[in-house]
Amino acid sequence: MFCLLQSALLHASEHILIIKDAKDGKAVTGAVVLLSHPSGKTTIHLPDYKGRVALTISESDKPAIQIKCIGYISQQLNILTEKEQTIQLQRSEISLSQVAITSTYTPVPVMQSAYSVKVIDKTQITAMAAVNAADVLGKQLNMRTGYDQAFGSTLTMQGMDMNNIKVLMDGVPVIGRMNGNIDLSQLNTSNVERIEVVEGPMSSSYGTDAIAGVINIITKPQNIRKNSATATAYYENIGTYNTDISAQAALNKISLKLSAGRNFFEGWNLTDDRRVYQWKPKTQYYGSALASAVLGKLKLNYQISLFDEKITDKGPVTITPFSAYAYDSYYKTLRHNQVMSYDYYLNDKNKINGHISYSSYNRRKEVFYKDMVALQQTELTTPEFRDTTSFDAWNIRSVWNHINDSKKINFQAGIDFNLESGSGKRLDVNRHIDDYALFASAEYTGVKNLLIRPGIRYSYNTMYDAPLIPSVNVKYDLTSSLAVRASYSKGFRAPGLKELYLDFVDINHNIQGNPNIKPESSDNYQLSLTHHYKTGKLTLQSEIKGFYNKVSNLITLAQYSDTSNLYTYINVGHYTATGTELTETVAYGNWTVSAGLAYTGNSSQSLGVNSSLEWFTQLNGSLGWQWPRYGIDVNAYYKYNGAMPVFVVDNTEEKSILRSEAYQVLDVIAGKKLWNEHITLSAGVKNIFNVTSIRQMSSGQVHGSSSTESSVLPGRLLCVKLQLSL
């Protein structure tokens, strides 16, 4: 046996393939090299972070070699003529920015996905001069952001609030909902590669909170091709000073990326009061570290990220004949995330990917009594002034994907375990809720141009009996550039820990949880027509979509009685959101123009009485122009948010319908590249129409008094951004 082994090694030779992009000469590290041996066996090889693949091939075994990568034209090699050979991959018409990964078996071009996916890549995020996720999503059609002084940013999508929107960071659920909202202003974009939005229930894939859809914020770079470093400074004339740095290194099979930043906002007022700010001063520190390795057929990633925020809320000064004092509050938030993710190629047809993650969220309120005469402050430590709320969660997700291009059926199966616990004064005592789920789906392509994807999810919830959650997606290609999609999805949302056990009482709030509320369920139908056409310098992308979403046992915050400021969570029968949206994008040469229209209607049913649909309109558009010769680009973004209905329900389920005021926002940003594109300078004007607040419901609000206005934006501002890349 030893002699036979030595003989085989003597007749084997090592070949090195270096896979590069034919256009820019950079390493293509996302490629997969398939060796099809005469015996029928196929082996997989993954390139390192320099695009290198080492192949050991015996003289008697001459396999066919195929190189595949999303966004490139596949290449077939029948023989290796040299010990070291460079392979130049040609880019396909599908660019990498048009590839979707959320809930797909493998990264696929958006046009080939069973879902209708919105992809916002890093280039678009940079062109917007966006600071956080709220800045980006607020410009999207059928999505509307707001701001709550107590709980941060808010979001609605397809007429549904954020209680029903699943927010993911690299596929990991983001925790720390305050009044049902994830504060998107805490999710900075400095380290974001792309954002993918899937509208409509995704409960069969992602479980609870995904009735309205999924937002996946992706920070992990697809490829780390070389050693590099970046430093960025951002300024707004309302007192915003942001800085961040990042560095990455590719070391054969291991790569590292480090990033850190600081966002500082000194507060802003429309008046001259320099102590009590309408927009509170805020300081954020954040950082992350990513280590990646390629070990044979295994890609392994470990990422740790930290976020620290401090909001300062200084109170008005009270002056008496003998003293002058004020009460100052500080809200401190700490987020901590660790993720170990993996991609393991069993063979050319089977792949396992997943992650194990731990997330923690801590929000602390501190109140100080400040003596304005002695210039001393004392922390108030009694329970009514101190408050800490903590959440932590484990998420274990593993998915087996079977993909065989020569067969009519591919499938996916996986597990998704979520274990969440919470503690704090507002939650009364320590609470926890666990969810253990199995899910599966299949894609059938046995009929020409037709794709059918049914899916199902079964879960065991420690608090509620979760139903089977089915879904089915159908896609039919009318032509190579025209596709129609139809889908039905069942949605399910279990009440969160705060909706069940919240005990939040202070000078402005009196909110109690309700352990007797029932989980929400929904039925969603969607129909869309997508067109993609390209000829010469002209590219056209069009989509028209209709949706209908009916939610049973909608959970809402309701006033307990007409004479009390106590609010609690109740179920109010049915809630319906339906509508249509139309988008069009035209790119010709150096010009890009896009426009969209959404028309959405909401209605609620309580005590068997149906209300008619209340409709509102949204418009958005963008105009972009590039002058590559001089490295100049100019972009304008417009958004009109129509008057949106607000349903108010008291404890007797008596409801009233009020409307928030319509408003419009326009941003214009210009950029210039210098020093061989190592320096990027951009500047512009945001909120040109100077919108600051809109008229809201005038009484009975949960947060605040009888004010008839709600803050939206801090007004017109100038911004400047400078980035250095080495």
DSSP state of 8: H
What's the pLDDT at 359? 97
Q: Collect contacts of 23-29 with beta carbons under 8 A, ≥24 apart.
A: 23/90, 23/91, 26/225, 26/226, 27/51, 27/52, 27/223, 27/225, 27/226, 28/69, 28/72, 28/89, 28/223, 29/223, 29/224, 29/225
Q: Work out the pLDDT band at 150, boundaries 50, 70, 90.
A: low
What's the pLDDT at 397? 97
- DSSP secondary structure of 365-395: EEEEEEETTTTEEEEE-STTT-EEEEEEEEE
The stretch 293-317 carries a mean pLDDT of 93
Whole-number mean pLDDT of the chain?
A: 86
- DSSP secondary structure of 91-140: B-SS-GGGEE-TT-SS-EEGGGSSS-EEEEEHHHHHHHT--BHHHHHTTS
Q: Work out the pLDDT band at 80, boundaries 50, 70, 90.
A: confident
- Which of 358-367, 445-454, 464-473, 698-707 has the least mean pLDDT? 698-707
What's the pLDDT at 610? 59
pLDDT single digits (tens) 68-77: 887 788 888 8
pLDDT single digits (tens) 469-495: 999 999 999 998 999 999 999 988 888
Nearest to 117 by CA among 186, 220, 22, 194: 194
Q: How far is CA 415 from CA 263, 658, 717, in A?
A: 38, 43, 47
What's the pLDDT at 507? 52
Rounded CA gap, 610 and 676, in Å?
63
Nearest to 341 by CA among 393, 384, 305, 298: 298
Q: Which residues of 73-95 are buried (b: 16+ CB within 10 A; e: fewer)?
A: eebebeebeeeeeebebebeebe
Nearest to 284 by CA among 189, 143, 407, 211: 189
Rounded to the nearest 5°, which phi and psi values hold at 535?
-150, 120
pLDDT at residue 314 tops 60: yes
Nearest to 635 by CA among 611, 670, 662: 670
Structure tokens at 656: 């009233």
Q: pTM of the prediction?
A: 0.89
Q: Please, which residues have CB within 8 angstroms of residue 622's CB and are 6 or more apart in sequence?
A: 139, 592, 593, 594, 635, 636, 637, 638
CB atoms within 10 A of CB 5: 9
Q: Please, which residues have CB within 8 angstroms of residue 17's CB and are 6 or more apart in sequence?
A: 33, 47, 52, 53, 55, 67, 80, 85, 86, 87
Rounded CA gap, 226 and 255, in Å?
9
With a pLDDT cut of 70, the percent of the chain lying above it is 89
Rounded CA gap, 69 and 71, in Å?
6
163: three-class secondary structure by DSSP:
helix
- DSSP secondary structure of 593-644: EEEEEEEEEEEEEETTEEPPPEEEEEEEEEEEEEEGGGTEEEEEEEEEEPPP
Rounded CA gap, 548 and 529, in Å?
16
Rounded to the nearest 5°, which phi and psi values hold at 126?
-65, -40
Q: Work out the pLDDT band at 649, boundaries 50, 70, 90.
A: low
Q: Which residues of 327-358 are buried (b: 16+ CB within 10 A; e: fewer)?
A: bebebebbbebebebbbbbeebbebebbbbbb
pLDDT at residue 315 tops 50: yes
pLDDT at residue 703 tops 50: no
The answer to whether the CB of 91 falls within 8 A of the CB of 98 is: no
What's the pLDDT at 501? 75
6: three-class secondary structure by DSSP:
helix
Nearest to 332 by CA among 281, 277, 266: 281
Q: Please, which residues have CB within 8 angstroms of residue 719's CB and are 6 or more apart in sequence?
A: 129, 234, 235, 236, 237, 240, 669, 683, 684, 685, 686
DSSP state of 41: -
Rounded CA gap, 709 and 59, in Å?
79
Q: Work out the pLDDT band at 571, boundaries 50, 70, 90.
A: confident
What's the pLDDT at 647? 63
pLDDT at residue 94 tops 70: no
Nearest to 102 by CA among 221, 206, 191, 186: 206
Q: How far is CA 62 from CA 4, 36, 58, 368, in A?
A: 19, 9, 7, 77
pLDDT single digits (tens) 326-335: 999 999 999 9
pLDDT at residue 653 tops 80: no
CB atoms within 10 A of CB 407: 11
For each of the domains in the chain, give its residue range(s) and CATH number, in order of start. 11-89 (2.60.40.1120), 218-725 (2.40.170.20)
What's the pLDDT at 442? 96
With a pLDDT cut of 90, the percent of the chain lying above it is 51
DSSP state of 467: P
Number of H helices, E strands in the chain: 5, 50
The stretch 223-246 carries a mean pLDDT of 91
What's the pLDDT at 701? 43
pLDDT single digits (tens) 529-539: 999 998 889 99
DSSP state of 203: H
Rounded CA gap, 111 and 98, in Å?
8
Rounded CA gap, 659 and 614, in Å?
10
What single-letter amino acid sits at 256?
A: L
- Which of 84-98, 111-125, 153-167, 373-387 has the least mean pLDDT? 84-98
Q: Work out the pLDDT band at 223, boundaries 50, 70, 90.
A: low
What's the pLDDT at 702? 42
What's the pLDDT at 5? 46
pLDDT at residue 296 tops 90: no
DSSP state of 517: P
